[in-house]
Structure 1
Amino acid sequence: MTDPLGQQRPIDIKAQLQACRSKEDTFKTLVMLSKTQPRLTAEEKTEDNKIKGCESAVWLIIEEKDGLRHFKADSDAKLMRGVLVAILSLVKGKSLADIQQMDLKAELAELNLSSYLTSSRTNGVLAILDKITSH
């Protein structure tokens, strides 16, 4: 199912990833999800928006409207774009206080991504979570 903007709902993304029964299924699902993530413009891919510590180049923009957080993100790697879709599905449209109340690491653990989160990717994901929860 999609929301009015054509984006997949978080529960659907979670269900899709949890339904994966192999590393290949998870990879295909992440690549498919990566195609739903709008790309950032060259002007948005600034050093200020770049996440430090990621294996791939990752940019994250946080915007707040009416107390709710909205995110724009991109990566030079399809797999990481898929991971971004999964992460952002958990937090988009929530307030910073609500996001800070969440156990995002536990939520991510439920998404069946562990085989793709190598130590260097895990560092990048932790840096993304830090930016999401601290700004």
Structure 2
Amino acid sequence: MSLPAEAVTALETFQNAASWEQRARLLMQWGERLPALSAVDKVDANRVHGCESQVWLVGSLEDGHWQFEASSDARLIRGLVALLLARVNGLSAAELRQVDLPEWFNQLGLSRQLSPSRSNGLNAVLQRMRELAA
């Protein structure tokens, strides 16, 4: 399965980071690049349950391809969610079902950042994307 352009950029960026500290800084930068969600979108109906931090997610279907927007109140989670969005935006519902979250963060060299609770939270975000796409 080919990666969306944004995901290729993310992979190249993170794989070229020389150290763990550089990857951690990049993670924060990716989070800062996330467009802010409007107050209209930050409602309970869009909140992802299963995350310790607050995460809101909205999705829309454009020509058979999903585009998601998300935000979080936690900086680190914003970065992880931004990288998840890079991986999934532009996919069809069928492709979305095939995304392997642990493998994606492993390729980025960020597995260490995924504590069990963060991993569960990101899985909840991906699960919510799949529900929206179903």
TM-score band by shorter chain is 0.7 to 0.9
C-alpha deviations, 1:27-51, integer Å up to 9, x for none?
A: 1001111121101111211111111
C-alpha deviations, 1:38-88, integer Å up to 9, x for none?
A: 011112111111111212111111111221100110011121111111111
1:99-110 maps to which residues of 2 (within 5 A)?
99-110=96-107
C-alpha deviations, 1:96-131, integer Å up to 9, x for none?
A: 112113333322321111121112111101101111
For structure 1, list consecutive stretches of 5 or more residues without a partner in the other structure: 1-7
TM-score relative to the length of structure 1? 0.86
The aligned amino acid for 1:133 is R
Equivalence for 1:23: 20
More helix by proportion, 1 or 2?
A: 2
Q: Please, which of 113, 125, 128 is the counterpart of residue 128 of structure 1?
A: 125
Identity %: 34
- Matched residues in 2 for 1:21 and 1:113: separation? 13
Contact 1:14 1:86 in 2 (8 A): no
Q: Is structure 2 residue 60 aligned with structure 1 residue 57?
A: no
Count of equivalent residues: 128
TM-score relative to the length of structure 2? 0.86
For structure 2, list consecutive stretches of 5 or more residues without a partner in the other structure: none
Superposition CA RMSD, Å: 1.6
Contact 2:31 2:75 in 1 (8 A): yes
